[in-house]
Structure 1
Amino acid sequence: MFTGIIETLGEVTAIKTEQSNIHFTIASAISKELKIDQSVAHNGVCLTVVALGENTHTVTAIDETLSKTSLGNLKTGSKVNLERCMQMNARLDGHIVQGHVDQTATCIKREELDGSWEFRFKYDASLGNVTVEKGSACVNGISLTVVNSAADEFSVFIIPYTFEHTNLQEVMPGDVVNLEFDIIGKYVAKLMGNK
């Protein structure tokens, strides 16, 4: 379980393919504090730490994960949003995030405003996921507030701190991001669909 509040940025230092799996080695400020078998969200994808280096950690993405996320687009030097799992006695600063990406979306707009940024994302609505105005959505692991919600797209506004401390600074129109829709909204949509 995560909150969508990014702890730090990591950088991909090595990528190794093994059959249909990909092992990503990430250098970050928190890598030395991690343990083998620990869950860490990488761009919103919950992955298990399988190896540790001096200031690096390695995680493995299997074919199922690669087919549903944008992790396969990472290359050496890519910036990755990192968040360790939530402690149950801590404040929930973002929203409830599982680290289970529902689908990807494409950035269709990035506009610098007077002191903030607007990003707009388009996704495949046929998968049944929805956003609501002023609801939550997780983009590349970042808990964000939805604005201008439509049937297959939505916008978010980004403050300078979030822009500077996440990989949204590198996201341009045409880039693919990971989306996790609000867990409560997903259950409500499913219940309503069953009636």
Structure 2
Amino acid sequence: MENQTIHLLPKPVTVVEVGPPFVLTSAAHIVAIEDALAAGNLLADYLRPATGFALPVVAVSDAEHPAIRLLIDPEVGDDDEAYRLDVNAETVILRAPALAGLFHALQTLRQLLPPEIYGASLVTDMRWTIPGVTIEDRPRFPWRGGHLDVSRHFFPAHYIKRYIDLLALHKFNRFHWHLTD
């Protein structure tokens, strides 16, 4: 069944509702090995401030701990930026043929959480749910970029960092920074 209530930017190739949501709790682990380890650590860094959860990044998790699993999987496709995201009540699995695809999957996962996840401080009394979905996506255009011209108008460093973070959240893959005329 196609889901009409999940709003993601950019719109993925497919979004299919599959059942009950995954509830992120303090018991959750992020499971990542080898090439996916950097993405696992980044995901933990994204989620810790607002949730306050430890979210350890481990190589193996047992059934007692709900898990978010990150896998480098060449079967997902031949585009390094492609990914597949499977969410059910027990686990979240992010698969991609390369680290670039896992990074895009992380951004989609963040968009599936309540918007409070973007906060820099702890949010209490929040149920961190991720809808039960299967998402498959790949870029429709090889060049998706943003431009910032600082040659005539200066921006503070925190603004530029925030701009780059927003480009990444929306899966832009190029940043054109005009420094001088």
The question of a shared fold, defined as TM-score above 0.5 by the shorter chain, is answered with: no
TM-score (norm 2): 0.27
TM-score (norm 1): 0.26
More strand as a share of residues: 1
